[in-house]
Amino acid sequence: MTIPPAPARTRRMPGLAGLVGALLLTGPGWAAPATQRLDQGWQVRLAAGDAHEVEHPQAARWLAATVPGTVQTDLIAAGLVADPFVGRNEAAIQWVGLSDWVYRTRFDVDQATLARRHVQLVFDGLDTFAEVYLNGHKLLDADNMFRRWAAPAKPWLHAGGNTLEVRLFSPIKRLQPWLKRQPYALPGEFDSAFGDEPKGLQTANYVRKAAYQYGWDWGPRIVTEGVWQPVHLDSWDGPRVAGVHVAQHRLDAQAAQLEVQLDIDSDSGAALPADIRVYGPDGRPVARRLADVEVLAGHHRVGIPLTIAHPKRWYPAGYGAQDLYTVGVRLGDSDSPLYEGSRQIGLRTVELRRDRDRWGRSFAFVVNGIPIFAKGANLIPFDSFPTRVDEARMRQTLESARAANMNMLRVWGGGYYLPDAFYAMADRMGLMIWQDFMFGGAIPPRDAAFAANVRQEAIEQVERLSGHPAIVLWCGNNEVQSSWLSWGDRKALQASLAPAENERIKQGMRDLFGDVLREVVAQHDPDVPYWPSSPSQGGDGFANSLDDGDYHYWDVWSGAAKPATAYLDVTPRFQSEYGLQSFPDMRTIRAFAGPEPLQADAPVMRAHQKFDGGNGNRRLLDYVRRAYGEPKDFPALVYLSQVMQADGIALAAEHLRASRPRSMGSLYWQLNDLWPGVTWSSIDTYGRWKALQFRARRFYAPLLVAALRHQGTTTVSLVSDRTTPLATHWRLRLMDFAGHVRREENHDVTLAPLASTQVARYTDAQLLDGADPRTTFAAFELIADGKRVSRNLVFFALPRDLRLPQPHVQAQLAPATGGYTLTLTTDALARDVWVSFGDLDAGLSDNGFDLLPGEPVTLDVGSKAAAEALRQALQVQDLAHAMETAP
């Protein structure tokens, strides 16, 4: 099978992304290189003759457009379509992605620009099938959302006003007729709920576009079109620097051996002086290299070696400082340099350790020689419309991850490559990034043109992002290999095809993920490991193995819908996906559902639940009922869903950490949301933390007591991420719900560095010692430097089967520097206490915690609201009050 032939490609122009600086005056006879931004005066309309003109005549007139942007956001701004995130409006926006559109703008060009030797029109991103016309002349075709497109423009420009037109074509409308003529369709991901593509005939596989925009089980179907990245007109004479990279060839305590690599375009040869200066993390100069650079005609790369003595290394969060160096580059004479700019780098070594041991073969990240247990989550795109995402939103999400003691995020492969600012923030915060290439699970075509398109995409993205110390892995895809081997629709297709055709499909995947992308990483970012697929064993055999490679575990929630205790039955080498759903905050629900009374199966709630065609809310309610019985009302269900999610993921994460070094990673699904929906996230689309995000701060803490009860036995492990031994103390207290201590144990132990130390095992009979299991719990606490650093409570029955008291929680709000403090006390055990302030905005230092009698908890409260308003709005929820069957 072949996909439609790709349009003729224009010559690739390496990007300047990640560089700080500007092109300055050049030598004699060379005009100053210049960039003219083309982001103003844009308009958009339906393409003439489009079938949707009749139903949407207003969209057939020229409307104001934003570039960078999308057609959908322009139509929302014009009031021609409703916000698809509100109510059940998603269906009403589907026609936009099924239409063809035209953007246009006019811009002026002066004689000085026309006099330059080179004038190039550059689109940093087009979404996705596009034709570009300059003053009526077709300049280029585009077919990949993830690539930059550039073409010489000088012959068709004239002084004064010029017209630029971009014609965008619906990817569904373009590909569906072709796909229907094929002997079979390659399996994709999620069928459209709106009937615009027949079931089993998905076009997303065949186009290089963000797959999640075709709909996922946590987000809407909004197939965007638009000019989604900046547009500019670049002009220059003589040589120019088109890119700067810094390769790290060797790093040890004595020296960092680097090479500053300059990508240069030139019409002729020349010799130019280069001045390379390096500034340390404190801003002081630490190295300098003067060199003569021989510039050749054409496009080529030159390398200038450089040494930093006694380098400071970049470390992941929790293991050291995030030291960054600034490398300044000047090419040409000091009075009139050809180029002057800089970029930041971090110095570190990273290894994906794959040792054979008694459990199989390891999967562990080793940074600067330190084996790191990866603690984190999977990151999905921030919004259905990428151009609406600003740095503040990305920063809030990354800071939330860091605040929860995470050290790794996996940028999942069904979205898009994130902007430079995201990776720069991760560098500064010490968050390791597992970076997928953009393949979300669908089976890709084996077409040679498709592979060539992907290769160019990968080159541009890897070159752009190389040098970020946060990126510790490039991964070929998400679940392509494992789905081919195990999913029902894939097996059905294989059974219908001849063996030779099956082999051709598999060989296409081997070529793409085993060769093409591996080669790109090896050539353009050789310091970073490459992994062909997640999950996999690193080859093309069995993909989802407990004893080799990374592992996605979905028997809990999906598939068999096992209880969360099933997490304790599996111990993979690195668990890169697992998750449980929950409802978002009631304020978030009200934002899309309105003020009407709600229930789990209400039409608007089904519309914002994408799992199993809206039936996921029933599964969510089943999970809640299993553990907690019937919720009192809908707000109680929302609260209990978050408690259930937090309890389940905590069980898995603590088990994985307690299993170190057999297991070396926990990345739960998922950190964030892109719209207000019912999903697996721990932070909703408004940045509001669910109970899971607060719990993650505890189960990902550097020091952890993991008390895991399974099949009537509780195993106690003490986990330390410290790199040196630590003298600690751990305590067991057996208590009743009124807070009376029946017995107590105290033990001193020195924790080994970077290790989990099992310190005790108890049967229920040993722990309870005759006490009533329905009214008793065990509290395990870890004390270091005189402070309790971790606590876990063990109960001997499901919450619905316990005789939980309905506690009386007292709250005292007091003014404090920067806000308020809130002190909570209780007369009986209050489980999973949740503090909220109605519609008032207030940040809390903790939430979703257990409150014990005689042990008050004081929270920091950040809010601009007045104290009396906060007191009036204060709500304190606990588990017993949310369960209808509680006494």
Q: Is 62 exposed, middle or buried (0-12, 13-18, 19+ CB in 10 A)?
A: exposed
Domains of the chain (ranges plus CATH)?
A: 31-232 (2.60.120.260), 239-345 (2.60.40.10), 703-801 (2.60.40.10), 809-882 (2.60.40.10)
DSSP letter string over 772-836? Answer: -TTSEEEEEEEEETTEEEEEEEEESS-GGGS------EEEEEEEETTEEEEEEEESS-EEEEEEE
pLDDT digits (tens, 9 = 90+) for 555-600: 999 988 999 999 999 999 999 999 999 999 999 999 999 988 899 9
Closest by Cα among 593, 596, 572, 573 to 583? 593
What pLDDT is stored for residue 338 in this prediction? 83
Give the pLDDT score at 134. Answer: 98
Judge contact between 490 and 187, C-beta under 8 A.
yes
For residues 459 and 113, what is the distance between their CA atoms, to the nearest angstrom?
Answer: 30
Answer whether 113's CB lies under 8 Å from 35's CB: no
139 CB-near residues (< 8 Å, 6+ apart): 121, 132, 133, 151, 153, 156
Separation of alpha carbons 188 and 190, rounded Å: 7
Phi and psi of 604, rounded to 5°? -70, -30
809: left (phi over 0), alpha (psi -120 to 50) or beta: beta
The span from the CA of 101 to the CA of 168, in Å, is 5
Separation CA 78–CA 90 (nearest Å): 17
Single out the residue of 524, 620, 536, 535 nearest to residue 580, CA to CA. 620
Angle in degrees, CA 444, 448, 451, rounded to 5? 55
pLDDT of residue 30: 52
Per-residue model confidence (pLDDT) at position 885: 62
Distance separating alpha carbons of residues 716 and 677, to the nearest angstrom = 37
Which amino acid belongs to residue 319? Y
- Residue 173: other Cβ atoms inside 10 A: 17
CA 538 from centre of chain: 22
Per-residue pLDDT tens digits for 132-168 = 999 999 999 999 999 999 999 999 999 999 999 999 9
d(CA 185, CA 1): 9
SS3 content of the chain, % helix, strand, coil (to 5): 25, 35, 40
Q: For residue 235, list its beta bridge partners.
A: 34, 119
Question: Which residues are bridge partners to 751 per DSSP?
Answer: 726
* In the block, residue with structure tokens 């409802």: 583
Asked whether 507 and 446 are in contact (CB, 8 A), the reply is yes
Are 399 and 426 contacting, i.e. CB atoms less than 8 angstroms apart?
no
Q: For residue 295, what pLDDT is reported?
A: 87
Q: What is the largest CA-CA distance in the chain?
A: 94
Instruction: Give pLDDT, residue 246.
Output: 95
The stretches in the chain having pLDDT less than 70 are 1-32, 885-887
String of b and e for 629-647 (b: at least 16 CB within 10 Å)?
A: bebbebbbbbbbbbbbbbb
